[in-house]
Structure 1
Amino acid sequence: MPSSDFAAGRAGPARRSPRPYRAARARRRRARRRATLAVLSVAAAGLLGLAAAILPPRFGPADPDGARLSGAGAVASPDPTPTAAPTPTPTGTPTPGPPPLRLTGSFPATGSGSFAFAAGQGRVAGRAGPLRRYRVAVEKGAGEEVAGFVAAVERALGDPGSWPASRRLRLQRVPDGAGHDFTIYLATAGTAGEMCAAGGVNIRIDGRPYTSCRATGKVIINLERWRRSVDHFVEARVPLDTYRDYVINHEVGHELGNGHERCPGRGRPAPVMMQQTLFLDGCVANPWPYLDGRRYTGPAL
């Protein structure tokens, strides 16, 4: 037997290479890993969905449309687009308008001739001199409140420019029934005309009662002038309150013994005892007998 055949018989069948088996095992391991990853992915997705359903809204995914979970998982409507708040209108104290020059509206030309007197007692105006007491009364049916007229009278006579600035007298309002030196009346034009005529004073201009007057113990203020002032004051834009201060101080000045005066010069203040209801003669309206603490006068009429 040839030696070559004898050698082959002892070695037995030829052995296969190990490489194909290793490749197969690697393929199987990769397949198992892919399958495992797929299972894990599915499980993870399920867990995330369950968490989204049961966790509170703040742990849920963001909603790009602005919706929020509310209640038991219900979807609330998206918040409306915010709008700018309107600018608030200022609510401070309104700026007062210019003072009136005269009052509008109707008022009686004549009245009952009977008067309502102010109650109570006012403060003393002035620091020295004898005390002069006065009452205040408003004609019934004149359409004016007693309290309003009282306030105007006390404002005029209590001002630092009024008669008590002389330090030679003091003034105080007292009620009806108390001892008094004179009375300040607010009367309709018809009643004022009768009262002034009874005291010897004619207040008629062009046939109708026009001005105010003083009769003995009586200062009589014409309601028409009290409400309407006079044309030359209105044209000069003099406030109605300035005219009221003037007419009270003028007529009380007569009661205190002062006579009429004239304008001391164009552009200068009119003396309070000048007949400013009738004219200014180039002077400037002035309601006070004292200016800067000194008695202000003009030439005697």
Structure 2
Amino acid sequence: MFRSAPRHRRFALIAQLVAVVLAIGAAVTVVAEERHEPSDRLTADEAAAPLVAGPPSASPSSSPSARVAASPSAPPLLRMPGAVPSAGSGRFDHDDRSGPVLGRAGELRRYRVAVESGSNEDAAAFAQAVQVALTGPGSWVDSGRLRLQQVPGDAPRDFTVYLATARTAGRMCAAGGVDIRVDGRPYTSCRAPGQVIVNLDRWRLSVPHYVSARVPLSVYRTYVVNHEVGHQLGHHHERCPGAGRPAPVMMQQTLFLNGCRANPWPYVDGRRYAGPAL
């Protein structure tokens, strides 16, 4: 009787130690699973990635537009909130700064940047977005035969990039021989002689098929600048080269993708990327 009592206590102590070890092991397992769980989930940008093409040789850190489009900490901005002014004053405020020369060689073409008064947009901010689009990597200057530079509003220039309300854009494009209406309303952007005209509606709201595919607004903005500047440089509309492939920048991505993936760049992997002529 006196010997069995200590043995019973030893068995109880061993059982308690085993229970403690098992509990610690279970807690470690739960913590490990919680640490690995995020790696099995796609972020909003990763989920959208198959729908957005870009220059594979460019890392996200090398391009400001890529940094905006691929933020790992927040879902992509698809469109700007709030109402968009449908009409402005018809007068334009110019960004009076000079920009760096973009591109390493070739003909230098100078451009200025202007924003319609009453559009509630800042000329300097718009100029910066235009510069990002035209810098690349992947922009027109990657040809090695072209350089671009922003100049002040009163300086000699080859063309002007305008940000205009829908009504003003419609009027300016019509004067240049381009009808940008869809269902009777000014919808797209355009190029008129010496004028790259970006529709404020598209700049702030993107387009429905981009939004539904969760393509970031920054990608659309880069596309529309490179598309219309491409017209200014003499390029014409192109078609989707095949389902699942990147859309050529000269494809009318504002209207459709036709099975292609959104792509804002004319150069991919350092080579001109184009589709069949429209």
> 2: CA distance between counterparts of 1:125 and 1:159?
9
Select 1:98's aligned residue among 75, 78, 83.
75
2:187 is the counterpart of 1:187: no
> 2: CA distance between counterparts of 1:278 and 1:199?
20
> 2: CA distance between counterparts of 1:267 and 1:107?
33
> 1: CA distance between counterparts of 2:266 and 2:129?
17
Q: Which runs of 5+ in 2 are unaligned?
A: 1-71
What whole-Å deviation, never above 9, does each CA across 1:202-259 have from its counterpart, x for those lacking one? 0000000000000000000000000000000011110000000000000000000000
Identical aligned residues as a percent: 69
Select 1:254's aligned residue among 231, 237, 258.
231
Deviation of 1:272 (Å): 0.1
| Structure number with higher helix proportion | 2
Select 2:212's aligned residue among 232, 235, 253.
235
Residue of structure 2 equivalent to 1:138: 115
The 5-angstrom pairing of residues 265-276 of structure 1 reads: 265-276=242-253
Contact conserved, 2:76 with 2:214, CA < 8 A, in 1? Answer: no
Residue of structure 1 equivalent to 2:150: 173
Residue of structure 1 equivalent to 2:127: 150
What whole-Å deviation, never above 9, does each CA across 1:126-185 have from its counterpart, x for those lacking one? 001010000000000100111110110000001120000001110000001111000000
Q: Which aligned runs of 4 or more in structure 1 are off by greater than 2 angstroms?
A: none
SS of residue in 2 equivalent to 1:119:
coil
Letter in 2 for 1:299: P
Q: Which runs of 5+ in 1 are unaligned?
A: 1-94
Letter in 1 for 2:214: R
> 2: CA distance between counterparts of 1:234 and 1:107?
17
TM-score normalised by the chain length of structure 1? 0.68
The 5-angstrom pairing of residues 1-301 of structure 1 reads: 96-301=73-278
Letter in 2 for 1:259: H
Letter in 2 for 1:275: Q
Say what the alpha-carbon RMSD is for the aligned residues. Answer: 0.8
Contact conserved, 2:189 with 2:198, CA < 8 A, in 1? Answer: yes
Deviation of 1:96 (Å): 3.6
Deviation of 1:289 (Å): 0.2
Letter in 1 for 2:251: M
TM-score normalised by the chain length of structure 2? 0.74
Question: Larger relative contact order (C-alpha < 8 A, sep ≥ 6)?
Answer: 2
Contact conserved, 2:90 with 2:168, CA < 8 A, in 1? Answer: yes
